[in-house]
Amino acid sequence: MDALIKPLRTGKPDGKSADGKEFRPAELDPAEFLAAAVKPDHPRPSRGEAEQAVKTLLAYIGEDISREGLLDTPRRVVEAYDELFQGYHQCPAEVLNRTFGETAGYDDFVLIRDMSFTSHCEHHVMPFYGKAHIAYTPVERVVGLSKLARLVDIFAHRLQTQEHLTAQIAAAVDEVLKPRGVAVMIEAEHTCMSVRGIGKQGAMTFTSRFTGMFRDNPAEQARFMSMIRGGR
């Protein structure tokens, strides 16, 4: 699914480009991350057609699709896809909609780090996996901690790039909770790089996205990064 990009809403600029012009990073269209990616009435191939596609791929690599070990493979693959890509049918906004006001005036950021996830690269449909770290500074109300982990899972259970995944998580928290700022960092290993192609096992990719007070205040970015790395 291609990202729909539009200019960021107006406000204080956060920097200048190489030619001296003010700029702000693009943001995703809210329609992309506030609702399920696939509507219930969206036309899709049947399960039988999906299983036949698996058989075609098995035959393409040179397998005998009639041998005993592969008889149930098409069914198993389709069932695995139903699980691995369930995020297309889940609504990110609904996960974040229930908040709590019992904060006793808490005015610092909330950080959840080391949330493990597995996603799939949209270029090769191969897994990438790692950890997500999310911080936000609430305005009066907070969201249940497990909801942020659930948000990560929803977006991760779709075909992704790590950059897109990072941007979607930050945009959803920013749009639904409307905090004073959001910080997201993702670190992951991509099997499309480690087990094929260049074959660099253990290479990690890091992406980050900051909004509000995290974007405008380098000291808050540094504190966020310090708390992620603390204790490691």
Q: Roughly how many angstroms between the first and final C-alpha of the chain, as a whole number? A: 36
192 annotated as a binding-site residue: yes
Strand 142-143 relative to strand 99-100, pairing:
antiparallel
3-state secondary structure of 32: helix
Q: Any residues with CB less than 8 A from the CB of 173 and at least 6 apart, and which?
A: 96, 134, 136, 148, 151, 179, 182, 184
Catalytic residue numbers read 121-124, 162, 190, 192
Strand 181-190 relative to strand 127-137, pairing:
antiparallel
The beta strands (E) that lie in 4-109 are given as 5-6, 27-28, 99-100
Point out which residues pair with 100 in neighbouring strands: 142
Nearest CA to 199 out of 132, 126, 130, 131 is that of 126
124 annotated as a binding-site residue: yes
Tell me phi and psi for residue 66, to 5 degrees: -95, -5
91 annotated as a binding-site residue: no
The count of other CB atoms within 10 Å of the CB of residue 82 is: 12
Binding residues for Zn(2+): 121, 124, 192
